[in-house]
């Protein structure tokens, strides 16, 4: 037995790192005393710190001794205040204190009947609604996981089941029996473990059954060396116990994505501008990002031609934003077509490409516009009014960050200094949130389709 203990006392850093999708992933840990960084004063290492060595993750730890499922939202708010959306995954390790507090399990749902349309007929059908409350474990889980799914819809969220519980005595009035005993409400810890597994199905979250896979069983004398104190604490794993948990978790995590891909397209209107467009191209080039430029035909001249050729050389798109920037809905079909064709002509002359997409000025669009331009896809985008020169760069950044989603086409204007400064800040900020940058056509290609030139619709995003 001594040889086994000595093997697990070796620091995780002595083990070879596993190269995987988790390398560099920013992972938040929400939990109780086993996750709490304060326990480093009691043990030499922790499972999340071991995972840093084994998988190369960046751990951000919010676990607090004594916390239960009702405290999840408070920890998540701390995460949000400190990291915003700059996180890839969240691992939740809670439930054992809910059991210890004598909490009943409760129900996931309230059941009734409601009338709804089913196959064109109004029918009264059996119906359920999730229970949200603090007085039962399942009610707490529903409340907490709804918060995570609402605030982190594009993040990987993984639940861990509580591990087995042994005897513990932390004082005369804090004595915790081993798991053979039910809590004061009559429920056993394995029922809480099962509830966490059920929560994964209800809330569409992966569950890692740490209760079984880590192999720690403190109700057996032979497993006491994996826990903090052989006489008084068979609840909290010690250094060998944490390392065993970490390796068990690491190989489970290899089966899950560390992050989900998110794509956003940057598009720019009203150029080329001899003062501002080169600055915008500089920023894109410095960050290794391509964009889609919807240019105004009258701005495409011999003097601005080098700017367009630079766009093409960088892999950016040159698209059509009409010749004189009119409201197309107020023109005749012949006038609309002339606006588009004149712009196509000067772009082909000076940049050597023919636009496949049109952004109508003011995103003014109707069936007449669609019928007048049969060979273009119509693109709008997510705008925050950045064309306003008096709008501070910081406000522009915050507005775009608030609106950016996977599949968004962000609409900028390369015509003023504050937008230039905003994009300079925004690109790293979006990268930190996990976004990858593509052009507008590439955004459609990633989704597996391209808009038809004869579609009578205009796209603001590609979801």
Residues identified as active-site: 269, 413
DSSP alpha helix (H) spans, 10-108: 47-55, 72-83, 96-100
Q: Give the whole-angstrom CA distance, residue 293 versus residue 396.
A: 19
Tokens for 426, please give them. Answer: 């925004």
3-state secondary structure at position 363:
helix
Q: Give the whole-angstrom CA distance, residue 137 versus residue 135.
A: 7
Beta bridge partner(s), residue 318: 293
- Calculate the dihedral angle through the C-alpha atoms of 67, 59, 160, 32, rounding to the nearest 10 degrees: -10
Beta bridge partner(s), residue 124: 115
**Residue closest to 404 by CA, chosen among 423, 421, 391:** 423
Q: Give the whole-angstrom CA distance, residue 463 versus residue 450.
A: 13
Evaluate whether 46 touches 39 at the Cβ level (below 8 Å).
Answer: yes
**Residue closest to 438 by CA, chosen among 280, 311, 304, 317:** 317
CB contact set of 411 (below 8 Å; sequence gap of 6+): 267, 269, 359, 380, 381, 382, 383, 386
| Radius of gyration over every alpha carbon of the chain, rounded to an integer in angstroms | 29
Q: Give the whole-angstrom CA distance, residue 463 versus residue 459.
A: 10
Q: Give the whole-angstrom CA distance, residue 67 versus residue 146.
A: 18
Query: What is the distance between the terminal CA atoms of the chain, rounded to a whole angstrom?
Result: 56
DSSP 44-59: S--HHHHHHHHH--EE
- Calculate the dihedral angle through the C-alpha atoms of 38, 42, 43, 46, rounding to the nearest 10 degrees: -20
Evaluate whether 389 touches 418 at the Cβ level (below 8 Å).
Answer: yes
51 burial via Cβ count (<10 Å: 0-12, 13-18, 19+): buried
Q: Give the whole-angstrom CA distance, residue 67 versus residue 32.
A: 5
- CA dihedral for 144, 146, 151, 155, sign (positive or negative): positive
């Amino acid at each position: 037995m001594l040889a086994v203990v000595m093997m697990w006392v070796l620091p995780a850093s002595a083990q070879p790192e596993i190269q995987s999708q988790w390398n560099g992933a920013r992972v938040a840990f929400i939990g109780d005393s086993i996750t709490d960084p304060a326990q480093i004063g009691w043990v030499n290492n922790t499972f999340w710190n071991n995972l840093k060595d084994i998988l190369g993750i960046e751990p951000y730890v919010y676990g607090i001794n004594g916390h239960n499922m009702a405290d999840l939202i408070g920890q998540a708010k701390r995460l949000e205040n400190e990291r915003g959306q700059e996180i890839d995954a969240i691992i939740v390790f809670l439930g054992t204190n809910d059991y210890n507090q004598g909490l009943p399990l409760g129900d996931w749902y309230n059941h009734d009947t409601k009338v709804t349309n089913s196959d064109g007929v109004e029918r009264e059908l059996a119906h359920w609604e999730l229970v949200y409350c603090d007085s039962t474990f399942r009610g707490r889980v529903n409340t907490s996981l709804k918060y995570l799914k609402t605030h982190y819809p594009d993040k990987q969220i993984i639940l861990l089941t509580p591990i087995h519980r042994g005897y513990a005595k932390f004082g005369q009035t804090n004595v915790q029996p081993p798991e053979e005993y039910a809590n004061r409400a009559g429920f056993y810890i394995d029922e809480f473990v099962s509830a966490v597994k059920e929560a994964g199905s209800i809330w569409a979250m992966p569950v890692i059954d740490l209760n079984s896979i880590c192999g720690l069983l403190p109700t057996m004398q032979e497993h006491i060396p994996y826990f903090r104190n052989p006489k008084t604490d068979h609840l909290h794993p010690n250094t060998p116990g944490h390392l065993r948990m970490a390796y068990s978790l690491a190989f489970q995590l290899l089966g899950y994505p560390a992050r989900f891909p998110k794509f956003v397209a940057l598009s720019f209107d009203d150029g080329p501008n001899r003062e501002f467009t080169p600055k915008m191209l500089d920023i894109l080039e410095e960050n290794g990002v391509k964009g889609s430029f919807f240019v105004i035909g009258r701005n495409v001249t011999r003097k601005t031609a080098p700017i367009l050729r630079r766009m093409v050389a960088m892999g950016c798109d040159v698209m059509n934003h009409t010749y004189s920037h009119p409201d197309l809905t107020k023109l005749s079909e012949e006038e609309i077509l002339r606006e588009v064709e004149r712009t196509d002509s000067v772009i082909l002359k000076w940049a050597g490409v023919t636009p496949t997409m049109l952004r109508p000025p003011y995103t003014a669009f109707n069936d007449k516009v669609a019928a007048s331009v049969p060979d273009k896809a119509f693109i709008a985008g997510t705008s925050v009014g950045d064309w306003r020169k008096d709008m501070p760069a910081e406000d522009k950044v915050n507005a775009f960050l608030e609106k950016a989603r996977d599949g968004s086409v962000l609409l900028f204007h390369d015509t003023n200094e504050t937008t230039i400064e905003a994009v300079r800040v925004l690109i790293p900020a979006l990268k930190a949130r996990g976004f990858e940058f593509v052009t507008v056509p590439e955004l459609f290609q990633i989704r597996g389709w391209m808009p038809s030139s004869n579609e009578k619709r205009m796209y603001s995003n590609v979801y």
